[in-house]
Structure 1
Amino acid sequence: MCVDCWKRRGMMNSQLRLTVPLLPDETASSYASRLAQRNKAPNLHKFCADLGLAYQGLRLGGDAALKQLSRLSGAPFEALRLQTIAYVGHRHYQLRNVTARRMFQTRCLFRFCPKCLEEDEQGTNGTVPYARNFWELEGLRCCARHKCFLVELNSAGSVDFVNLYKDYFMGQEIPKENLVKPSDLLLENYLRERIDKLQTGMWFDDIPIHAVKAFCEYFGVLTLFGPRTRRSNLSQLDWLRAGAHGFAQLCKGKKCFYDVAETLKSPNAFAVDRRRDDFGVFADWLHDQKKNSEYAFARDLFRAFIVDTYPLAAGISIYGVALKKRRLHSILSAIEEADLNKSIFHAYLVENGYARRIDGYYRVIQTKQILVTDIPVMKVEMTKLLRAGQAAEQLNLTSRQLRVLKDEGIIKSLDGGSKGFPLYHFDELNAFVDKLKKVSRPVAVVPSEAISFAKAAVRLSVPLHVLLKRIITQDIRSVIYRVGACSLNELYLKNDHLKQLFPNGIDQGVLLCDVSEKLALNRTAIACLIRMRVFMVIQKAEPIGCVQRKSICSKSVEKFDSEFVSLKKFCAEQGVSVMSAACKIKKVGMLPLCKGKAVSKIYRRSEINEICCPCMKTTDVDLDLLSL
């Protein structure tokens, strides 16, 4: 019957005789399609044309079309309005008082749950096949009841569910469901609860629902797949898992975002602005949405983290907002803007935990934030770091004396940054001076029986640093005098109290040449052992560092000789072949104590005794000519 016939009979606003019940979560278009089938209409478009029902209004969930459908079918208008996704303008859609932008699935695709349609066809639920409103939501990819993916079908823009079902499903096998884990549905469960209840008690509730979905998904892609992930390479399952993973990390509060983002930044984030490398796919998504006010919460959250983490200069724009003033400094920006000495600044940062050295090199990597407000305090502290010349001048010492005091640990020093020159802290030097003041008393004139420290070291045949260490560690303040400033050249002690400094005698040591002959080691090996602190050097007298007069502590030589032995000496003692012993050592892969072509090979006595058999006979190999 045509529309004119309906008008002549006055039945345009009357209820149809043949109606169908409105099913749970059924959309208005699906309900109208079943109503058309019940009234023997060939399709939904013809049914709407005959009854004057706005087909396009039915698709968009318009109130006028829904009211007319309610009058024709007898279904409550409020129920139809509550179950239908309605277009409210400006690319926004509404379902159950929840408004979202681009939340509606593209109309050219019809999505369905194969398990739901199979149960409807079998009559398990006491219903007939119909379309659910949740199938049309872009943010939901799975069926909440059966935990399977929705199947997409190109419907060419049609919303006539009954004819689609006849054309594509009747007599055909419904595609098998693709099951997912319940843990992958955390985000979708929240979205459904948000639509049903409007408020869930989470901090997400005040944010548009589509913005929550995108925020959780992209943050999950970042944490689950990495910053360099291509969005086009992700499958539906990947997006589902990413959304659940991101929601699980962010649902407890905004602080969780900071905690997770802190673990994603690069090790050198405090020194270089690498936010694009550290947060690639997430940062790109925010950049694409920089003009959308609905994603302002995500931009503000990420911007606050960037400002608190990366050393950004004033004027840099972060998602449309320019930074008014610098908050953090990198090492380079602090040196350039505050005009700091690079070497001293590096040493200060390493000493105070702001940076660390890389594999022992002088290049440093920043490990802690440098606040702009900390720079004035750092500049004051850096004035207390003195170079070797300044420290020697303060103590009235020669550079060689200062170096010996540093090597012996009497005065501590800092590694001098990029060039490696030692730096001395002003407080450390003052502490050393205070120690000297505690064991000395000021006098105007030096007594005749007193002797200077330098002359005392020569008379006792001990290095100056050995004498200094003994004076500082022993309480003999009654015999030490100082005139004027407390420096080494102005310290004196009595002649008759020299023996109090070394009551057990003085270890005169063994000359370097004697050690070389006794242990069958060349001078290169001995020098290597001295650097390794195996041998303790005892200088007979000034000048310090004179190789010809250098001697080694006899106790350290005896201890070394009891535990270690050179290959040359061992073979001479055991009467074995050097070549055979070297072959056995090489075969087992035992490493010497000292390495190098010019260094004598040194091994532990216990280990070399087990490897080299004492019963081996010595061959006619010239041991002096064989250098191993």
Structure 2
Amino acid sequence: MIWNWSDTCVSGVQTGAGEGWLGRLPFHVAAQTCEGFGILLTHGADAKRDLVAPAEWAAAGTAGFRVLREGPDAFRARLKNIQIAQPLDNTLYRTRFRVFFEWLRYRDDDPDFDIIRDIVREFVFRNFPIAKGQVVLGQPCPEQYVHSLATARNTFGISGWKLGRRLSAIGLAQRSSVSKRFVLNEYAPADVVRGIVTEVDALLNATEAAHRVGIDRMMITKFTDRGLIPKYYPDHNAAPLYHPRDLEAFLGRLRSLAASKTPSEQHLDIPTASRWLSVPTDRVTRIILDHRVPLFANETKAARFRDFRVSVPDLQQEIYRAQDGVLRPADAAKVLGISVRTVRSLLDRGILEPRTVREERSARNRRYVSISSIETFAAEYITVVDLASQSGRLPGAEAILQTDRGVQPLDLDSRCNMIFKRADVPALSASTVSNVKASRRAFSNG
């Protein structure tokens, strides 16, 4: 029985075929579908049709008409809204659309309803984990379009843990707040699941990945911590598994910096250069990639990590740039032409500015020297050796001469170099100041 639930709807479908999709349907199909779908919209999936009052049928028909008059896309969109209104669980389309779905099944013998059945069936196939061959509204599913964790596990043999972790990384799942299991935000498209299964099958453990890159297992762990090579599962507690694609991308970045020519004696492989400079290999590699330090390799296209050679002076210069304006005491001593003991004494007295640096290799905090304070020191102080080089006297004779003139050296620890304030030394050549800066540049350049 068709209730006169809306003058607008009745006039729209009784006047014959209209311009809209709904108006071109047979009258009984349009009217009954508005009612049947409208009951789902107004009373929910568990509504009992025989308990619906005439006035409620009218309201339901109006609600259904407002959606269906916008066409099939609006119909599908409202079905999708009903599906996602509740979290995914074990309930499928029969539960979520029960009153409407049962009504539609009762019209199996009327071919005029095929257009409605086709839309609903296709929606169910593409939005619920329906197995291939499973019959919905009289037709078998041609292929499975989406998966739950359970159907993916049964179909592909992949563990829910591995699949859930990857789906979580791309935003299709999340970790349950009450258990360690993963929960889908929406069913996973079959092609996405197939892609994950293919990737998981290709994963390498840390030992296998290290062999492919050309390093040892401990080094690949350091490269991962440094952010050079990502783990397939980024979680902190996840097993260290690697995809060949990411390993090849890492080697590709190194190969892009490499030229095919014979290296000189100044070119060493990266681990050897790292040991020579007392800087961890993973940090050196990070500097090479970030600062695009030129590399060399005999077989560039097939080169692995230990095949690359780097210029030690070039690398040394970039390391100093990466140290954010500081030098180790030993390097500061080379720049200033004094002993390391003297540098430490100058740091103790605040004449050179100390900086605390956490060394990557030892994981300890060390006292480094500010480069700006080294240049300030060079402008304000001079060693007795530099004075002697200007005067042509021996350093010992120069020291006696200056003290006889009343010039007092800095009060430093025993066995430190003798140093004077430039302002206290008469007729000092100004060229010595620039000489120290030039010395520092030359040291930085290797």
TM bracket (short chain): 0.5 to 0.7
Are the structure 2 counterparts of residues 299 and 269 from structure 1 closer, same or farther at C-alpha, using a change threshold of 3 Å? farther
Counterparts of 1:505 and 1:295, CA distance in 2: 72
Q: Does 1:465 align with 2:282?
A: yes
Match of 1:551 in 2: 364
- Tell me the amino acid that sits aligned with residue 364 of structure 2: S
Q: Does 1:502 align with 2:319?
A: yes
- Tell me the amino acid that sits aligned with residue 59 of structure 2: R
Gaps of 5+ in 2: 329-355, 369-446
Counterparts of 1:189 and 1:226, CA distance in 2: 24
Counterparts of 1:375 and 1:328, CA distance in 2: 9
CA contact (8 A) 1:387 1:422 kept: yes
Q: Deviations over 1:110-161 (max 9, x none)?
A: xxxxxxxxxxxxxxxxxxxxxxxxxxxx523xxxxxxxxxxxxxxxxxxxxx
* CA RMSD across the alignment: 4.2
Query: More deviation in 407-416 or 237-246?
Result: 407-416
Match of 2:213 in 1: 395
Counterparts of 1:502 and 1:457, CA distance in 2: 11
The structural deviation recorded for 1:244 is: 0.5
Q: Does 1:191 align with 2:191?
A: no
Of residues 121, 134, 139, the one that matches 2:3 is: 139
- Tell me the amino acid that sits aligned with residue 551 of structure 1: R
Q: With the length of structure 1 as denominator, give the TM-score of the two structures.
A: 0.45
Higher relative contact order (CA 8 A, sep 6+): 2
Q: Deviations over 1:253-295 (max 9, x none)?
A: 2222112112111379999661022212212322344445554
CA contact (8 A) 1:508 1:553 kept: no
CA contact (8 A) 1:273 1:311 kept: no
CA contact (8 A) 1:461 1:539 kept: no
Match of 1:238 in 2: 56
Of residues 106, 110, 118, the one that matches 1:300 is: 118
CA contact (8 A) 1:416 1:423 kept: no
Counterparts of 2:12 and 2:289, CA distance in 1: 77
Of residues 87, 102, 126, the one that matches 1:284 is: 102
Q: Deviations over 1:150-208 (max 9, x none)?
A: xxxxxxxxxxxxxxxxxxxxxxxxxxxxxxxxxxx5x344325655x445555445655
The percentage of counterpart residues that share the same residue type is: 19
CA contact (8 A) 2:129 2:187 kept: no
Matches within 5 A, 1:449-528: 450-477=267-294, 486-494=303-311, 499-504=316-321, 506=323
Matches within 5 A, 1:399-438: 399-415=217-233, 420-438=238-256
- Tell me the amino acid that sits aligned with residue 260 of structure 1: R
Q: Does 1:218 align with 2:36?
A: yes
Are the structure 2 counterparts of residues 305 and 481 from structure 1 closer, same or farther at C-alpha, using a change threshold of 3 Å? closer
CA contact (8 A) 1:354 1:370 kept: no
Are the structure 2 counterparts of residues 211 and 447 from structure 1 closer, same or farther at C-alpha, using a change threshold of 3 Å? closer
3-state SS, counterpart of residue 357 of structure 1? strand
CA contact (8 A) 1:440 1:482 kept: no
Of residues 229, 248, 257, the one that matches 2:75 is: 257
Counterparts of 2:234 and 2:149, CA distance in 1: 15
Match of 1:54 in 2: none
Match of 2:182 in 1: 363
Counterparts of 1:228 and 1:463, CA distance in 2: 66
The structural deviation recorded for 1:247 is: 0.5
CA contact (8 A) 1:267 1:367 kept: no
The structural deviation recorded for 1:304 is: 2.1
Q: Deviations over 1:440-484 (max 9, x none)?
A: 45678x866554433443443432221111122334426x56789
Counterparts of 1:205 and 1:497, CA distance in 2: 77
CA contact (8 A) 1:311 1:330 kept: yes
The structural deviation recorded for 1:439 is: 3.5
Are the structure 2 counterparts of residues 451 and 198 from structure 1 closer, same or farther at C-alpha, using a change threshold of 3 Å? closer
Counterparts of 2:279 and 2:106, CA distance in 1: 76
Are the structure 2 counterparts of residues 346 and 385 from structure 1 closer, same or farther at C-alpha, using a change threshold of 3 Å? farther
The structural deviation recorded for 1:394 is: 1.0
Are the structure 2 counterparts of residues 304 and 188 from structure 1 closer, same or farther at C-alpha, using a change threshold of 3 Å? farther
3-state SS, counterpart of residue 219 of structure 1? helix
Q: Deviations over 1:510-540 (max 9, x none)?
A: xxxxxxxxxxxxxxxxxxxxxxxxx995323
Q: Does 1:322 align with 2:140?
A: yes
Are the structure 2 counterparts of residues 326 and 270 from structure 1 closer, same or farther at C-alpha, using a change threshold of 3 Å? farther
Are the structure 2 counterparts of residues 469 and 508 from structure 1 closer, same or farther at C-alpha, using a change threshold of 3 Å? same
The structural deviation recorded for 1:504 is: 4.6
Matches within 5 A, 1:194-209: 194-195=13-14, 197-205=15-23, 207-209=25-27
Are the structure 2 counterparts of residues 501 and 226 from structure 1 closer, same or farther at C-alpha, using a change threshold of 3 Å? same
Matches within 5 A, 1:123-138: none
The structural deviation recorded for 1:213 is: 2.8
Are the structure 2 counterparts of residues 206 and 335 from structure 1 closer, same or farther at C-alpha, using a change threshold of 3 Å? same
The structural deviation recorded for 1:249 is: 0.7
The structural deviation recorded for 1:246 is: 0.6
Are the structure 2 counterparts of residues 505 and 269 from structure 1 closer, same or farther at C-alpha, using a change threshold of 3 Å? closer
Match of 1:98 in 2: none
3-state SS, counterpart of residue 257 of structure 1? helix
The structural deviation recorded for 1:426 is: 2.5
Counterparts of 2:101 and 2:313, CA distance in 1: 79
Q: With the length of structure 2 as denominator, give the TM-score of the two structures.
A: 0.61
Counterparts of 1:293 and 1:504, CA distance in 2: 78
3-state SS, counterpart of residue 312 of structure 1? coil
Counterparts of 2:182 and 2:68, CA distance in 1: 38
CA contact (8 A) 1:388 1:422 kept: yes
Counterparts of 1:219 and 1:269, CA distance in 2: 22
Aligned positions, number? 336
Match of 1:539 in 2: 360
Counterparts of 1:505 and 1:256, CA distance in 2: 58
Are the structure 2 counterparts of residues 239 and 268 from structure 1 closer, same or farther at C-alpha, using a change threshold of 3 Å? closer
- Tell me the amino acid that sits aligned with residue 413 of structure 1: K
Counterparts of 2:59 and 2:271, CA distance in 1: 78
3-state SS, counterpart of residue 550 of structure 1? coil
Matches within 5 A, 1:37-56: none
Q: Deviations over 1:6-31 (max 9, x none)?
A: xxxxxxxxxxxxxxxxxxxxxxxxxx
